[in-house]
Structure 1
Amino acid sequence: MSEPRTYRKDTSAAPRGYSSWEAAGLLWLAEAEEDGGASIAELRDVDTTHIDLVQYAPAPATNLAADEFGAALAATHAAGAPAFGAPPARWSSHGFIGPGESPMPMPVEPTQTWGAFFAEQRIRHLLRAGRAKGLWEEEGELFEQVAARLESGEFDDGRPPARIHGDLWAGNVLWTSSGAVLIDPAAHGGHPETDLAMLLLFTAPHIARIIAAYDEAAPLADGWQERVGLHQLFPVMVHAVIFGGGYVRQSVEMARKYA
């Protein structure tokens, strides 16, 4: 049987450490595969200038593949993490999120509660990054109010930290003949609703079936639909800082719902 082909992701334009961060996330998420977790792109090699992965042949997303992916993602989350905000194993610095050529540094510091983690290391961190670029000059208090509600524990539900992909938009799910394969993680200990909200933000194929299968495998907490926008505020703020444009207005509108 011939060796599978290799896909080389060029990371030469990324900040130092980016490729190692991504590799650590891939390996950490892949640990859950033995227990039914989602399939993770197989790492072949990593260097400061590239990441080599097995190259997968694309195939249409099917209902069955979506069902299997939803259940598998629940198993990945169930593999857990040492704390909210905890980085992947083999990693001890800050993380990154965003396009490979210009990713944003993101904190990954273990925190006692999800709300405190999301408030400080996601909402406030991005608010500071955005204001340094002249964004949200008049709306800063709005985002601070969201962070204060998070920090108060209002959105904490007592669930333990999940092992999440962290950047699970539709483009980071490869559909192959053997099902979904995940790439480009920003993995950390987080809330499982964050990954699901990302899949909903840019509407992954068969999203309703993915969510239903996930919910059957690991029942979602009451009111999760009302919190989708709260989790989506993070990636929309990332897009606002990196790309500007309509994402700035969208982030303000989303923040207003949770302020």
Structure 2
Amino acid sequence: MPSISQLRKEEQALHALLFTQAQYKNYIPVKSDSLLQIAEAYYRTSSDSLHKAWTLFYLAQYYRDSDEKEKALSYFQQANIASRNIENNQFKFLLNLHWANLLSDEDAENKGIEKYQTANKYAILLKDTLKQIDLYGQWGWCCLLTGKYDCADSLFNMGLKLSTSSKMTYYNYLLNCLSLTARERKDYKRALELVNRSLSLAKDSTELYPLWNNKGEILLEMNQYDSAHFYLSKDTRDYDPYFKATHYLNWSIYEEKIKNLPKALEY
């Protein structure tokens, strides 16, 4: 393509939107809103409601990822208004799902539930089982993080039921999620049973890493130190600061439990 500055205004806006969308769909961090500002400036006064709605949606995503939550919520609201006369269930599913996740993170639980329910309605209209499973997984995860374990288990099991009937790879992920709720309840026998079932289904290291980590943490809480050390050592993810911080925390707990306090402090 020629330089974006050589394109007509409409082409510039569409290029900016599609380029940002491609980044998000390939899990590439969007480091600036400069391209989206080009798209927003054009579509604000355009009759193209669909591209306007998508632009506002990705601006909401960008500001959420930049930890500007109020801006993100504002743009989700604007995207919702822009999409009112659009018959695009795919867009409306994604909008409500991501909006729900942000509302749940911000402790706006009732509003979050409302958006999850709306997203589920569009997933059903799309007849897309995978979207429903993904929705139940994300909704259940929000319940897990807020200590609503019964709600989390119910949603994970709903996803598991759909995953079983359609033979999808979410099955072992949801088993591990159920293991996490059992661990939070200190039902370690149940937690181990579930994570072992999940491990038996995992196909590669990408799937295995979080399972090894979960099993290591379960065994650590059970004071089975040698086994905990074995499984925690198998999770070697270090490409994200969050993973590194989690590893340091787990190893500090391990060293404290075996009375090696200087090493615990170091971690």
Structure with greater helix share of residues? 2
Give the structure with higher Rg (CA).
2
Structure with greater strand share of residues? 1
Q: TM-score, normalised by structure 2?
A: 0.28
Greater RCO (CA < 8 Å, at least 6 residues apart): 1
